Amino acid sequence: MPGAPNRPPDIEPLAPPQDPTARRLVRRLGPMRVALHLDLWKGAPSSELMVLLERAEANFTSGDLVTASNNLDQLAIRFAEPRWPTMPVPFKLLRVEIPAPTPPHWNPEHALPPEEKETKRLARDAEKHRELARGTLEWARTHQLDLTDLVPCIDRAQATLAAEGPSDAFWTDIDGFWQSVRSRVPMPKSAGRSAPAPAAPPAETA
């Protein structure tokens, strides 16, 4: 209509990988990349942490999904080590603490049928990613990174989760969000990288 303001086209998130294992890894690679940008690292996370994320990304890109998953498992455990600053909510959900051995019956879900255990696990995982996605959008807003075009994607995922639970439609939006985050949030720069040793001066000859 003449005189009407131009409405910018809607921007859809990137399509996630088709392989289910690769999609699950994208759900970890995206938020872990953001976690290592958090202010608690003062702009330079430890190289001990960064090397694990770098290896995970390299192995993911090369198709070695098993090793990439192992790299991320190690990073999640490292996040929980007491020597690092405490990560804020919701990114502390990325930590995996190694619990002390306990009898199986101490777990309140121990006696549940396997199908019900899996349903509860998926519900927890979905809620975790909803919180991590919202936390990522808030982090981007306060760090001059424009991810506002991805807000509708997460709004849609949240509505789907409330209406249907963690359905395929929910995970498609979540995985597309994290794939977009990986493409638009740069890799953090680590601290503690040692510079190459200078070349030794040539030996003096008589």
- What confidence tens digit (pLDDT) does each residue in 77-130 have? 999 999 998 899 999 999 998 766 666 666 676 666 777 778 888 999 999 999
Q: pLDDT at residue 158 above 60?
A: yes
Q: Which domain holds residue 147?
A: 20-99+111-184
Closest to 125 (Cα-Cα) out of 2, 33, 27? 27
In a domain, 200, yes or no: no
In a domain, 125, yes or no: yes
| Cα 49 to chain centroid, rounded | 14
Percent of the chain beyond pLDDT 90? 68
In a domain, 70, yes or no: yes
Domains of the chain: total: 1
In a domain, 192, yes or no: no
Look over the chain and give the mean of its residue pLDDT values, rounded to a whole number. Answer: 86
Res 13: pLDDT: 80
In a domain, 13, yes or no: no
In a domain, 127, yes or no: yes
Closest to 157 (Cα-Cα) out of 137, 141, 177? 177
Q: In 185-206, which positions are buried (b, 16+ CB within 10 angstroms) versus exposed (e)?
A: beebebeeeeeeeeeeeeeeee
Per-residue pLDDT reduced to its tens digit, 143-153 = 999 999 999 99
In a domain, 202, yes or no: no
